Structure 1
Amino acid sequence: MKFLHTADWHIGQLFHEYDRSYEHQQFLNWLVETLVAEKIEVLLISGDIFDSSNPSAASVRMFYRFLNEATTALPDLQIIITAGNHDSAARLEAPKPLLESSNVHIIGMVEKDAAGNIDFEKLLIKIHDASGAIKALCLAIPFLRMGDYPAIADCANPYTEGVTALYQDAFDYAQQYNTDNQPIIAMGHLHTLQAEITDLDKTERLIMGGVECISATAFHPDIKYVALGHIHKAQKIGGKEHIRYSGSPLPMSFSEIHYKHQVIVFDLDQEISDLKAIEIPVSVPLQRIPHQHQPLHEVIYLLEQLPVVDSNPENLPYLQVRVLLDGPEPALRHKIETVLAGKPVRLAKIDAQYPASTKEAQELITAEKLNELQPIDVFGKVYQSRYHSEVPSEIMQLFQQVAEEVNQTAG
Structure 2
Amino acid sequence: MKILHTADWHIGQLFHEYDRSAEHRQFLDWLLLTLQSEKIDVLLISGDVFDISNPSATSVKMFYTFLNQAAKANPNLQIVITAGNHDSASRLEAPKPLLESSNVHIIGMVEKDSEGSIDYEKLVIPLHDASGNIKTWCLAIPFLRMGDYPVIPNSENPYTEGITALYQNAFHYACQKKQDTQNIIAMGHLHTYQAEITGLDTVERPIMGGVECLPATAFHPDIKYVALGHIHKAQRIGGKEHIRYSGSPLPMSFSELNYKHQVIVFELEEEISNIKAIEIPIFVPLQRIPSSHAPLQEVIDLLRQLPPAQNNPEVAPYLEVRVLLDGPEPALRHKIETALEGKHVKLARIDKTYPVSPKEKNEFITEEKLNELKPLEIFEKAYLNRYNADVPDDLVQLFRQVTQEINHTPE
| Fold equivalence (TM over 0.5) | yes
Change (3 A) 1:205 1:211: farther
Answer yes or no: is 1:216 the counterpart of 2:216. Answer: yes
Structure 2 segments unaligned to the other structure (5+ residues):
none
Q: What letter corresponds to residue 54 of structure 1 in structure 2?
A: N
**% identity of equivalent residues:** 73
- Is the 8 Å Cα contact of residues 47 and 230 (structure 2) preserved in structure 1? yes
Q: Counterpart amino acid of 2:355? A: P
- The CA deviation string for residues 36-89 of structure 1, in whole angstroms up to 9 with x for no partner, is 000000000000000001111111011001101111111110000000000010
In the alignment, which residue of structure 2 is the partner of 1:282? 282
Mapped contact 1:205–1:211 kept (Cα < 8 A): no
1:167 — aligned with what?
167
Tell me the distance in 1 between the aligned counterparts of 2:370 and 2:381.
11
TM-fit CA distance, 1:186: 0.1
The 2-side partners of 1:106 and 1:137 are apart by 15
Deviation, structure 1 residue 379: 1.8
CA contact (8 A) 1:171 1:220 kept: yes
Equivalents in 1 of 2:166, 2:178: separation in Å? 18
Measure the CA separation in 2 of the matches of 1:280 and 1:345. 22
Which residue number in structure 2 is paired with residue 263 of structure 1?
Answer: 263
Query: CA offset at residue 155 of structure 1?
Result: 1.7
Structure 2: which amino acid aligns with 1:89?
A
Distance 1:203 1:358, change over 3 A: farther
Q: Which amino acid aligns with 1:212?
A: E
TM-score using structure 1 length = 0.97
Residues 23-62 of structure 1 correspond to what in structure 2 (within 5 A)? 23-62=23-62
Deviation, 1:307, is 2.2
SS at match of 2:186: strand
Task: Give secondary structure in 2 for the equivalent of 1:224.
Answer: coil
SS at match of 1:351: strand
* Contact 1:311–1:344 (Cα < 8 Å) also in 2: no
1:83 to 1:343, Cα distance in 2 relative to 1, 3 A = same
Superposed displacement of residue 378, structure 1: 2.2
Q: CA deviation at 1:181?
A: 4.1
Partner of 2:5, secondary structure, is: strand
Provide the rounded CA distance (Å) in 1 between the counterparts of 2:386 and 2:17.
25
Q: What is aligned with 1:20? A: 20
Alpha-carbon shift at residue 206 of structure 1 (Å): 3.5
CA distance in 2, matches of 1:208, 1:45: 27
CA deviation after TM superposition for structure 1 residue 210, in Å: 6.1
Superposed displacement of residue 405, structure 1: 2.2
Q: Give 2:324's aligned residue.
A: 324
> Which amino acid letter does the alignment assign opposite residue 291 of structure 1?
S
Structure 1: distance between partners of 2:215 and 2:285: 34
1:310 partnered with 2:313: no
Please say if residues 157 and 211 of structure 2, whose CA atoms lie closer than 8 Å, have aligned partners that are also in contact.
no
Write the letter of the residue equivalent to 1:361.
Answer: K
Equivalent residue, structure 2, for 1:153:
153
Cα shift at 1:367: 3.0
Spell out, residue by residue over 1:154-211, the C-alpha distance to the aligned partner (whole angstroms, 9 max, x if none): 1211101111111001001100111344110000000000000011101112478866
Q: 1:357 touches 1:385 (CA, 8 Å); kept in 2?
A: no
Residues 1:396 and 1:229: Cα distance change in structure 2 (over 3 Å): same
Corresponding residue SS for 1:185 = strand
- Matched residues in 2 for 1:110 and 1:261: separation? 30
TM-fit CA distance, 1:282: 0.5
In 2: Cα distance, 1:338 partner to 1:209 partner: 44
Is the 2:189–2:229 contact (alpha carbons within 8 Å) kept by the matching residues of 1? yes
Query: What's the TM-score once normalised by structure 2's chain length?
Result: 0.97
Distance 1:178 1:309 in 2: 59
| SS of residue matched to 1:265 | strand
* CA–CA distance in structure 2, aligned partners of residues 30 and 266 of structure 1: 18
Bigger drift between 315-324 and 373-382 goes to 373-382
Superposed displacement of residue 101, structure 1:
1.7
Match of 1:372?
372
Amino acid at match of 1:312: N
3-state SS in 2 of match to 1:165: helix
Paired with 1:371 and 1:145, the residues of 2 have a C-alpha distance of 45
Q: CA deviation at 1:359?
A: 5.5
- Give the whole-Å Cα distance in 1 for the aligned partners of 2:359 and 2:170: 53
**What SS does the aligned partner of 2:300 have?**
helix
Change (3 A) 1:392 1:359: closer
Matching of residue 392 in structure 1 with residue 385 in structure 2: no
Q: Quote the Cα distance in structure 2 between the aligned partners of 1:312 and 1:180.
A: 56
Deviations 1:110-134 (A, max 9, x none): 0111111100000000001122100
Q: CA–CA distance in 2 between the matches of 1:266 and 1:9? A: 20
Q: Aligned ranges for residues 1-400 of structure 1 at < 5 Å?
A: 1-206=1-206, 212-358=212-358, 360-400=360-400
- Go from structure 1 to structure 2 and tell me whether the alpha carbon gap of 1:322 and 1:410 turns closer, same or farther (over 3 Å shift): farther
CA distance in 2, matches of 1:398, 1:329: 17
User: Are the counterparts in 1 of residues 108 and 142 from structure 2 also a CA contact under 8 Å?
Assistant: yes
Q: Is the 8 A contact 2:112 2:119 kept in 1?
A: yes
State the alpha-carbon separation in 1 of the partners of residues 410 and 257 from structure 2.
52
Q: CA deviation at 1:270?
A: 1.2
- Letter of the 1:274 partner, please give it: N
Give the C-alpha shift of residue 381 in structure 1: 1.5
- C-alpha separation in 2, matches of 1:141 and 1:252: 24
CA distance in 2, matches of 1:410, 1:151: 66
Q: Secondary structure at the match of 2:87?
A: coil
Q: 1 CA distance for matches of 2:280 and 2:254?
A: 17
| Contact 2:46/2:81 (8 A) holds in 1 | yes
For 2:226 and 2:206, locate their aligned partners in 1 and report how far apart those are by CA, in whole Å: 25
2:309–2:345 CA contact under 8 A, matched in 1 = no
CA distance 1:402–1:195, shift in 2 (3 Å): same
Which shifted more, 241-250 or 150-159? Answer: 150-159
**Unpaired runs of at least 5, structure 1:** none
- In the alignment, the residues of structure 2 paired with residue 235 and residue 54 of structure 1 have an alpha-carbon distance, to the nearest angstrom, of 29
Deviation at 1:249, TM superposition (A): 0.2
